[in-house]
Structure 1
């Protein structure tokens, strides 16, 4: 079992105590950092203790911020310096949130989060607790940190700050051995940006939200009235369309021979008026249940904004996740009007254009797809034109929908039958088994580099990695293909967030509020809208190009960006 050493405790409660301790910080190469707070909310709760473990000095500084509230200003130069000791902690996004809410912004190049590091080392979608990695007693974590501090509380606070240093040494040794240092450095650079995003929060208009929910309820009612025409006295006139069993009977009664009522079961009949009304009803009901009035509970009483829990690593691929609430699930429709910038401010929304296809072309490599991107061609039009044997100018909207199903479905090795289901449920394109097989073959003839990539993928369990060196073991064929692509996309997005944080002084008053898959949204002062637009677009292109440069065949990166009053729904126009 790993042994956690004991260091002497030095309680800092007076200016003189702090003045005597500050010179010790400059001599350290590693410093363990931990906060004890009166609660979990950086905007309403207080920091009681700042613990700094100094292994060279053999001491842990315990700075009592109740007794010495100005101590953070004295420690600011040490925390914010671009160079100096590596600051090591566990789940540092929590600690950084409290520090940032008080105006302190540590450098991402001097951070090491042992929780994030463990996720990278083990390809974990969730951060393990410190007590799951080391023998630490967390029973005092929820004790009263607002009153008189006991000796046990002081020892507890010190032990957490020391424990992370032990874990860091184990982690960095393994990272060097397994060539994961680059991937870890990337996560640590992104860490303060993610904490910054969380503490700043997302602008939200509760009145606009309520109006959207009222409209969803009205849509559900209108759909129910359309469904009423098909009830025909079933279930004594009290047919419940929310019941799959009753809905199935009604569908069959009207000659719709389906085995179930899932969306994929209904997709072949989506143009039948009964199925169309049922799908519309379910969509409206989903909006109400998933994005109803309960979302207003997430509105912060002090800031008037939503402060979701961003999970920097929320999947084995390295992609981010979001919770309480999950903003990554908000549909791309009028619902986003409620995420509205305050008066005098704007939202800059920027998306990586077709980044998974670009990364697949770069990784495979596939010279045909890469050349299309270099020429600025529309890849969906190109695919449709070639597989259907028609000139590009003759490609219809329906043809492009088919091409999207081929492009996005087949890059990860989808079979003909899976392609049929994917095309139908995702794009409304019905294919016979023969058509699916023929189109699949035509696709891989068009893009032979993709076929070669799929064929040389080894069988059995293997270790795959992203362009930045993030690793994952898997035996599933699709994961062997999508992990390098989606993981590299996540790496590029995180590097962009890190660069935005490091260059935050270039556009004063601007900060990221959302990171959703391949999209970043930044809030900025309206008078700096053009600056912010160029800043965000430039940083995102630069970051992904750095990642893409490590691929066998680099492909151009394109970012589509605009300035809006809300989350990409209402364009912003400067006042004349």
Structure 2
């Protein structure tokens, strides 16, 4: 029996999907995001449990329940359902029925109680019951026959899963929940008793009843709180207990016969009409082409075995199965002889586009070696060439060197178009074997990043979302953690299906996403920019950056000495030794021994010692200042001075960071292993780390950095006359702002006034409130509000831009950069108060951050193109925020100093001039 918590599903669908409309051109038309998400979640689930003879999708009915009679404040704190979601409830019920799911909503009882009643009835008849929900409360239903799956994160709550997650068996979950309470439903538990204490008590006493009977023996504040709650606990337990004996007459006939929830086929004709009505044209086409929900996943499972069908899915939102593939058998080849190899070589030579993927020895792109290569030239058709499998039953494989030599002309031919999923990684892998791949035309990860930046971009997620296809999970093949085996030891037959599936799905996803980009000119241009950026990033990552490891080791030693000295100073100030990394010990010394003021408290009611508190206390007390400095230096030492020398590549004597391109929703790049973008520059110790990034002999480091780029973008977007004038005339914009806000001439502006203006300029870009400005400047809230009001009086165009941008975001569900990159804001209409406000602040800032990201990417592409055309030896070695860093031969210094800022300033024609400033030095710090 398969039971779906429909109420949980529809909220998840609503918050995860973009703000879709039945008529995309009319923002006032029917919202459809939750409907679409619901359809695809249920389709995906039904594919995984296609044989279930009984199914039901259960929703909460409107109106009060028996729990409201017991406790009038039950769920009193819950925010009302957003209007856009409320309007989708009836269509969701309708389409779920049309898809063949019995829909249940029983007045007077909640969905959980209906699920509980059906689950127990199914168990009594010998059925295995699977409940699909993210609600942890349902864990009290778990038995050997009843389990819960959370399809959003792949979590399975069977008996072992419940025990591992909560620390108590499923039979004690109601007792556990009664002690902890449920803040979402406004059901109190025992004050300040959390999951750990609840589990500890139940493991010690065996049950809530036994604990209550011996409550006088429980010591400490927790015991006192338990005794205070004794009168409440029976009511709390009654509220939290899921009923399993509901009268479902008129909703489910004939219990325990269950006939009315027997699985049935969907109504294709009515579904087609529904899909057309709500604008789901691709779903409608799928039905017209004879695509049945589940066909694709079932044929994959038939080829891959049960593991594929049971693999947990992590993302269930998005598109439907590709109609044209329905019913086709997969043609996956394992290439073990030269005849097969030659046949596939001919196929890829003749193909217009080939999807290619590598299976390797490592995720480290600079170290990974090829284990096998997969290719796909048509949907459902793929081949795997195993080259380095070494398991005991591994068949004889073609020699890797000869295979790569025969593939090399095709791989390096730019006219032979290739497709990948995160192809930058595969380019590195081939480069490790001496092959410089050319002709990469498409990347499905980047297609998804441009079209749906707020969604996951992994291949499994894309295939599920856009094709309705489930695939084999890597961990199903190789295991997890310490028991994980190398891919080379996976049996070739299983490895081949997995690898072929990767290439096949990559091609299939491309066929779903590329048409969407083709018809959106501005989005297609952003995608082309991302493809070009990926090419530059590959070159940068391959080049790496030279560091002075000896200097870093000396810095580590110096930091270690200062850290020890700070520890001694802190002990002296405290009057006793203590662990500077222990919040508990710090709290005891601060608030018990020294009597420092409590700034704020943690969720458990204890005085907080977090970073914000330390910074506040450090203004008046020396001990918090020492602890802050100790923390900062310890982080520098552990993260950079100790680790960077260990990350030098032996073959190149350089550090090679990885630039993640499809992570930040604003379009910004992120750097990791090591992270070169978060090296602190506000302290002398942080700046010293940059001194260790050095040029090779005969070279210098050149830094080219956009000046005040986000303020310039604000001037362009807002069109504010005063702001445009300041930049066009080359004025000091912070001084100009200070003159406007404080009502003085620019010559009369003091350094303090300029500092205030700088905070206001950058703060408003990030949506800073008067409260935030007051805290930042150390002034009262009224004064801060007056400054902001005066700013908007002098810069009315900025105020107009902010209001217009928020209105656009509310109407469309996204904002855009100057160049058309879309930045989605799911919370702008559907979030609660704080989340909605945060989305509004993000709507204001995202176009500026996103445009800045577009500009630096355009600069990287145009500068790299110039370096190649000029055949220069200068190499771009880092990209950090709005800065490009080069390693330049001394003979090319004049050219770079002239051309780099010129090229960067010319990548876009904005209403204000772009300005890139250049610095030169033997190391990064001196060049910056």
CA contact (8 A) 2:454 2:824 kept: no
For residue 443 of structure 2, the aligned residue among 96, 110, 113 is 113
Deviation larger for 309-318 or 257-266: 257-266
For residue 334 of structure 1, the aligned residue among 688, 697, 709 is 688
The equivalent of 2:64 in structure 1 is none
The equivalent of 1:530 in structure 2 is 894
Residue 321 to residue 146, structure 1, CA distance change in 2 (3 Å): same
Show structure 2 runs of 5+ residues with no match.
1-295, 297-320, 389-397, 464-468, 479-483, 601-607, 682-686, 829-838
1:211 to partner: Cα distance: 1.8
CA contact (8 A) 1:36 1:50 kept: yes
Residue 8 to residue 128, structure 1, CA distance change in 2 (3 Å): closer
Taking the TM superposition and a 5 Å limit, the aligned residue runs for 1:215-226 are: 215-224=558-567
CA distance in 2, matches of 1:227, 1:485: 43
CA distance in 2, matches of 1:12, 1:558: 58
1:480 to partner: Cα distance: 0.8
Note if 1:399 corresponds to 2:761.
no
Cα-to-partner distance string for 1:513-542 (whole Å, 9 max, x where unaligned): 322221222334444333344454344333
SS of the aligned residue for 1:522 comes to strand
The equivalent of 2:401 in structure 1 is 69
The equivalent of 2:665 in structure 1 is 316
Note if 1:556 corresponds to 2:913.
yes
Residue 124 to residue 107, structure 1, CA distance change in 2 (3 Å): farther
SS of the aligned residue for 1:291 comes to helix
Deviation larger for 172-181 or 469-478: 172-181
Residue 495 to residue 328, structure 1, CA distance change in 2 (3 Å): same
The equivalent of 1:238 in structure 2 is 577
Taking the TM superposition and a 5 Å limit, the aligned residue runs for 1:59-138 are: 60=383, 62=385, 67=399, 69=401, 72=404, 75-76=407-408, 78-82=410-414, 84-106=415-437, 110-124=440-454, 127-130=457-460, 133=463, 134-137=469-472, 138=474
Note if 1:371 corresponds to 2:744.
no
Cα-to-partner distance string for 1:361-389 (whole Å, 9 max, x where unaligned): 11123232122112111111211222223
Deviation larger for 181-190 or 127-136: 127-136
Note if 1:51 corresponds to 2:390.
no
Residue 262 to residue 17, structure 1, CA distance change in 2 (3 Å): closer
Note if 1:438 corresponds to 2:768.
no
Deviation larger for 113-122 or 495-504: 495-504
CA contact (8 A) 1:537 1:561 kept: yes
CA contact (8 A) 1:63 1:71 kept: no
Deviation larger for 500-509 or 322-331: 500-509
CA contact (8 A) 1:507 1:528 kept: no
SS of the aligned residue for 1:495 comes to helix
CA distance in 1, matches of 2:746, 2:561: 42
1:130 to partner: Cα distance: 3.2
User: Aligned pair count?
Assistant: 550
CA distance in 2, matches of 1:96, 1:361: 40
CA contact (8 A) 1:268 1:430 kept: no
Note if 1:37 corresponds to 2:379.
no
1:170 to partner: Cα distance: 0.4
CA contact (8 A) 1:411 1:450 kept: no
For residue 542 of structure 1, the aligned residue among 879, 885, 906 is 906
Residue 126 to residue 67, structure 1, CA distance change in 2 (3 Å): same
Cα-to-partner distance string for 1:305-354 (whole Å, 9 max, x where unaligned): 32333211222222222223322211121111222233333332222111
Residue 349 to residue 491, structure 1, CA distance change in 2 (3 Å): same
Residue 57 to residue 323, structure 1, CA distance change in 2 (3 Å): closer
CA contact (8 A) 2:767 2:842 kept: no
Note if 1:516 corresponds to 2:880.
yes
1:440 to partner: Cα distance: 0.9
Note if 1:169 corresponds to 2:511.
yes
Residue 278 to residue 151, structure 1, CA distance change in 2 (3 Å): closer
CA distance in 1, matches of 2:846, 2:705: 20
Deviation larger for 373-382 or 297-306: 297-306
1:125 to partner: Cα distance: 6.9
1:165 to partner: Cα distance: 1.0
CA distance in 1, matches of 2:563, 2:906: 45
The equivalent of 1:348 in structure 2 is 702
1:444 to partner: Cα distance: 1.4
Cα-to-partner distance string for 1:46-99 (whole Å, 9 max, x where unaligned): 3244434333997758495962526556655544555x3542111212101123
Question: Structure 2 length as normaliser, TM-score?
Answer: 0.53
SS of the aligned residue for 1:319 comes to coil
SS of the aligned residue for 1:562 comes to strand
Note if 1:325 corresponds to 2:664.
no
Deviation larger for 85-94 or 290-299: 290-299
CA distance in 2, matches of 1:445, 1:78: 63
CA contact (8 A) 1:241 1:247 kept: no
CA contact (8 A) 1:37 1:46 kept: yes
CA distance in 1, matches of 2:920, 2:363: 34
CA distance in 1, matches of 2:433, 2:865: 18
Deviation larger for 136-145 or 553-562: 136-145
Residue 96 to residue 291, structure 1, CA distance change in 2 (3 Å): same
The equivalent of 1:566 in structure 2 is 923
CA distance in 2, matches of 1:398, 1:250: 39
SS of the aligned residue for 1:520 comes to strand
Residue 5 to residue 248, structure 1, CA distance change in 2 (3 Å): farther
Residue 98 to residue 534, structure 1, CA distance change in 2 (3 Å): farther
Residue 172 to residue 152, structure 1, CA distance change in 2 (3 Å): same
SS of the aligned residue for 1:563 comes to strand
**Could you say which structure has the greater relative contact order, defined with CA pairs below 8 angstroms and 6 or more residues apart?**
1
SS of the aligned residue for 1:306 comes to coil
The equivalent of 1:448 in structure 2 is 796
Residue 7 to residue 520, structure 1, CA distance change in 2 (3 Å): farther
For residue 157 of structure 1, the aligned residue among 474, 499, 515 is 499
The equivalent of 2:854 in structure 1 is 491
Residue 363 to residue 146, structure 1, CA distance change in 2 (3 Å): same
CA contact (8 A) 1:258 1:265 kept: yes
The equivalent of 1:298 in structure 2 is 647
CA distance in 1, matches of 2:598, 2:495: 67
CA contact (8 A) 2:815 2:822 kept: yes
CA distance in 1, matches of 2:433, 2:874: 17
Note if 1:387 corresponds to 2:387.
no
Residue 375 to residue 38, structure 1, CA distance change in 2 (3 Å): same
Cα-to-partner distance string for 1:414-453 (whole Å, 9 max, x where unaligned): 22111122x2xxxxx3212222111111211222111111
SS of the aligned residue for 1:202 comes to coil
Note if 1:200 corresponds to 2:543.
yes
Deviation larger for 452-461 or 88-97: 452-461
SS of the aligned residue for 1:347 comes to strand
Residue 248 to residue 64, structure 1, CA distance change in 2 (3 Å): same
